[in-house]
Chains A and B, each alone.
Chain A
Amino acid sequence: MTTPDEPLKGLRITDLRVSFDGFTAVDGVSLTVGPGDLRFLIGPNGAGKTTLVDAVTGLVPATGSVEFGGTELLGRPVHRIVRLGIGRTFQTATVFENLTVLQNLDIAAGAGRSPAALLRRRKGVPDAVARALETIGLTDRRGDLAGTLAHGRRQWLEIGMLLVQDVQLLLLDEPVAGMSHDERAETGGLLRRIAEDRTVVVIEHDMDFMRTFASSVTVLHAGRVLSEGSVADVQADPRVQEVYLGHSPGEPVAAPAGGSAGGED
Chain B
Amino acid sequence: MTSTLTRWRAPAGYALGALLLFAVAPALLSDFRLGQLARYLCFAIVAVGIALAWGRGGMLTLGQGLFFGLGGYAMAMHLKLTDAGAGQLPDFMLLYGDTSELPWWWEPFRSPAVALAAVLVLPMGLAALIGYAVFRRRVRGAYFAILSQALAAAFAILLVGQQATTGGTNGLTNFQGFFGFSLLDPVNRRTVYFLIAAVLLLLMIGVRQLFLSRYGELLVAVRDSEERVRFLGYDPALVKLVAYVLSAGTAGIAGALFVPAVGIISPALIGIVPSIQFVIGAAIGGRASVAGAVIGAVAVAWAQTTLSEEFPAAWTYFQAGLFIAVVAFLPGGLVSLRRLLARRGPRVAEVPA
Contact = CB atoms under 8 A, between A and B. Distances in A.
Interface stretch (B27-35, B97-105, B211-219): B211-219
A88 B215 CA distance: 23
Contact of A144 (B210, B217, B349): B349
Given A113-B214, A120-B213, A100 B349 contact: yes
Most chain B beta-carbon neighbours within 10 Å: one of A107, A121, A122, A144: A107
B215 A108 contact: no
A111 B217 contact: no
A57 interface: yes
B213 A121 contact: yes
Is the interface on chain B under 10, 10 to 19, 20 to 34, or 35 or more residues? 20 to 34
A94 interface: yes
Interface stretch (B145-153, B221-229, B265-273): B221-229
A94 B220 CA distance: 14
A232 interface: no
Contacts of B350: 100
B212 A121 contact: yes
Given A96-B221, A98-B351, A161 B232 contact: yes
A226 interface: no
A96 B225 contact: yes
Interface string B186-227: 000000000000000000000001101111011011001101
A189 B228 CA distance: 25
Contacts of B221: 96, 99, 103-104, 107
A165 interface: yes
A82 B231 CA distance: 6
Given A118-B215, A145-B349, A111 B224 contact: no
Nearest to A103: B217
A120 B215 CA distance: 8
B349 A57 contact: no
A97 to B, nearest CB: 7
A219 B235 CA distance: 34
Interface residues of A, number: 35
A110 B350 CA distance: 19
B231 A98 contact: no
Interface in A42-99: 57, 78-79, 82-83, 87-88, 90, 94-99
B230 interface: yes
Given A100-B349, A100-B350, A79 B233 contact: yes
Given A97-B224, A98-B220, A98-B351, A82 B214 contact: no
Contact of A107 (B209, B217, B227): B217
A106 B217 contact: yes
Given A96-B224, A97-B224, A113-B214, A78 B349 contact: no
Contacts of B212: 121
A119 interface: yes
B234 interface: yes
A143 interface: yes
A117 interface: yes
A176 to B, nearest CB: 20
A122 B214 contact: yes
A196 B234 CA distance: 27
Contacts of A96: 220-221, 224-225, 228
A79 B234 contact: yes
Contacts of B232: 82, 107-108, 111, 161, 165
Contact of B231 (A57, A99, A110, A122): A57
A111 B227 CA distance: 14
Nearest to B236: A79
Given A107-B217, A118-B218, 20 more contacts: A78-B231, A79-B230, A79-B233, A95-B228, A96-B220, A96-B221, A96-B225, A97-B224, A98-B220, A99-B220, A100-B350, A103-B351, A104-B221, A106-B214, A107-B229, A110-B214, A111-B233, A118-B214, A121-B213, A165-B232
25 contacts: A79-B230, A79-B235, A88-B231, A94-B227, A96-B220, A96-B228, A97-B224, A99-B217, A99-B220, A99-B221, A99-B224, A99-B351, A100-B349, A100-B350, A107-B214, A107-B218, A107-B221, A111-B233, A112-B233, A117-B214, A118-B214, A120-B213, A143-B349, A144-B349, A165-B232
**What are the 6 tightest A-B residue pairs by CB atom distance, in nearest-first order?**
A111-B233, A82-B233, A118-B215, A96-B221, A94-B228, A78-B230
